[in-house]
Amino acid sequence: QYYIPAARELSRLGGVCAAPLIQHFAETLAGSATIRSFDQESRFIETNFVLVDQISRPKFHIAGAMEWLCFRLELLSACIFAFSLIFLILLPKGVISP
């Protein structure tokens, strides 16, 4: 109910944030000789760091959403296991034959 729409939106945001980094990287590779000739390496490196930081934000939230899903599934399985265990303990003797 909550996880699927949130995970879908976070995945979309991750893709949207990745596009500028890929474009910047491709343009940097294509113009590396020009960048070196005008001594602009530090500016391009700083821009690259900013774009990598922009990608890291959605990935952090995606990891958090995945942890939330894992926690809920583990809690559900623990409750089912506990219910089954209590049910089997409280059954009268002889109902289940080995």
Q: Per the structure, how many domains does the chain have? A: 1
Angle subtended by helix axes 41-90 and 3-30, to nearest 10: 160
As a residue count, the chain comes to: 98
Q: What is the pLDDT of residues 26-83, one digit of tens each?
A: 999 999 999 999 999 999 999 999 999 999 999 999 999 999 999 999 999 999 999 9
Q: Does residue 96 come out as left (phi exceeding 0), alpha (psi in the -120 to 50 range) or beta?
A: beta
pTM over 0.85: no
Say if 50 falls within a structural domain. Answer: yes
- Residue 64 lies in domain: 3-90
Say if 97 falls within a structural domain. Answer: no
